[in-house]
Structure 1
Amino acid sequence: MFPTPDQDTPRQELTRALRLLPRVPHGRAAATRRALPMVLPASHLVTGETLLLRVTHPDADLPPWDGTVLAYEADDEGGRPGSPAPWQAQVIGVATVTHPDRRVREAFPPPPRYARHPEATYLRLTPRYASVYEPGPPAPARPWLPRPRAGGDEPPG
């Protein structure tokens, strides 16, 4: 759940999000273009308390990024042998265009197959809000609840 607009996300939630994001190479950047939502694939690097994003796009008709509010979301659904539990992290903040040097550009993972466009914009995102979802342990059995009857019929209540 996001905080109300007049308060930032508590520091520990931002820290959790920034701790999880390096576990995956890609995510999705969301902004608006002409008041309509736009979601683009992106690669990311966590640099302290900010994110560097490499947003790939096939089209030059993009919004001006400097100063725009941007949401960035990445997740790991798990399910692979030895993988950690699934999680989802989203951060929201103001993006600014940046021009990293070649060494930093080469540190980015390659874009996903579906997003290999030659055009890319590099952004620095300073998160103010964060939301993290990590499923907890399964709920304990509650033997005091009535069990369904054979045949799937629920007892009259």
Structure 2
Amino acid sequence: MPCDEAPDDLSLATELLGRTAHGRVAASMRALPFLAPARHIVTDGRVLLRMHGRPGYDQACVGHVVAYGADSLGLAESTAGAWAVHVVGECAAAEPTAAELDRLGPPPRVADGEPYDPVYLRLTPQFATVHSTDDGLRGGSGRED
């Protein structure tokens, strides 16, 4: 697993990412920060992202260090507490396997009022941050993947 940080931090972060299907990519484009929603799966310690390609956010991510975050807010398990995870690492364009595409499920038909144009990125986490409240790190998967 690619990481210079304590393995427990990254292991916990990737396990928590596996509990939810969507998160947010944070990067910058032309010196301005942005957040973009993405669908994700964790595979081989890396995070495969599917996002809408129209705004060109994927081009700002490829070859750069980006952050990706997700949380338990809105999941059934979040009633006992909440968690949030952020991973940071280098992002690359990706060609998902058939198995990975199956795990991601079908893409939306429309995003922001236009046809959805899926692009795939692979984030290799270098470090992670996990925050939780109450018993937020306990509970079931909250996801059917």
**Shorter-chain-normalised TM-score: which range?**
0.7 to 0.9
Alignment-derived partner of residue 87 in structure 1 = 83
Confirm or deny that 1:75 pairs with 2:71: yes
What do you get for the CA RMSD once the two structures are aligned?
Answer: 2.9
SS in 2 for 1:15: helix
Q: CA deviation at 1:121?
A: 1.6
**Is 1:56 matched with 2:39?**
no
In the TM superposition, residue 31 of structure 1 has moved relative to its aligned partner by 1.1
Identity between Structure 1 and Structure 2 (%): 36
Show CA shifts across 1:111-147 (max 9, x none). 679847521221111101100011246xxxxxxxxxx
Where does structure 2 lack aligned partners over 5 or more consecutive residues?
Answer: 136-145
Higher helix share: 2
Note closer, same or farther for the CA distance 1:81–1:123 as it changes in structure 2 (3 Å cut). closer
| CA spacing shift, 1:97–1:131, aligned 2, 3 Å | same
Residue identity in the other structure for 2:132: E
Number of matched residues? Answer: 131
Would the aligned equivalents of 2:48 and 2:121 in 1 still touch at CA under 8 Å? yes
> Aligned partners of 1:81 and 1:90: how far apart in 2?
19
| Higher Cα Rg, which structure | 1
TM-score, L = length of structure 2 = 0.75
